[in-house]
Amino acid sequence: MPTFKTPFQGYAVKFSPFYEHRLAVATAQNFGILGNGRIHVLDLQPSTPPSLSDLLAFNTADAVYDLTWSESNDNLLASAIADGSVKLWDTSLPPHQNPIRSLHEHSREVHSVDWNPTRRDSFITASWDDSIKLWSPDRPSSVRTFREHSYCVYSANWSPRHPDVFASASGDRTTRIWDVREPTSTQVIPAHDYEILSCDWNKYDPCVLATSSVDKSIRVWDVGPPRADPSLCLMGMGTR
């Protein structure tokens, strides 16, 4: 089992959508409470036994909480930084020429970043300032801001099937479903009794969403319209 030891604590790890052997790691000093951050780009070497090599690393002055690979450019990474910024990195350039862009619109820590896997021309960020922002990598400012949560937004994730739909998980104990074509969220789910830290879509059923919370529960939700055949639903609304 290949192992790579990072100097800081790991917060997120993502495989490249282009290279099966490449992955990026977001890390933070002192468990993300205070200190620097570092992004590692690793290659899985087909040696015997297999090993992980550090292809390059990018240092940041603040913790890196999350990162995502571009779905349209195999060298591009976006990262969520504790200083409220979103930084873009080009792995084809040396560290001293990075980041290639720093976007600073969030007023508090950025905790989540996710690239649109179907449209591939945009990404979203979720922040402790209670907002979610939609970005295009070619624009110097955000495309849109989504403000309905009343507490930190810990996670926002695109639907793997619908290019306009994403879900968000918040400390206000709700999960919301959004359609970027609509002026407000399309669904509000009072999902847990305490803060919700993450959510993720089922890759095979576009209406099924899972959430996890500090109340120690994981719940699976059917967020689609009522179905004529209940067997089409993997698990019912609110099933633990």
- pLDDT reported for residue 48: 74
Residue in the structure block whose two tokens are 């609509």 = 182
DSSP letter for each residue of 70-81 = -SS-TTEEEEEE
Closest by Cα among 143, 177, 175 to 159: 177
Give the pLDDT band (50/70/90) at residue 230: very low
Per-residue pLDDT at 227: 58
Give residues with Cβ within 8 angstroms of 64, minimum separation 6.
11, 12, 26, 27, 28, 37, 38, 39, 79, 80, 81, 82
Predicted confidence band at 229 (pLDDT cuts at 50, 70, 90)? very low
Q: What is the pLDDT of residue 226?
A: 64
pTM above 0.75, yes or no: yes
Give the pLDDT confidence of 42-92 residue by residue, as tens digits.
999 887 788 899 999 999 999 999 999 999 999 999 999 999 999 999 999
What is the arrangement of strands in the sheet containing 132-135, beginning at the earlier edge strand? 110-115, 123-127, 132-135, 144-146
For the cut 70, the answer to whether the pLDDT of residue 98 exceeds it is yes
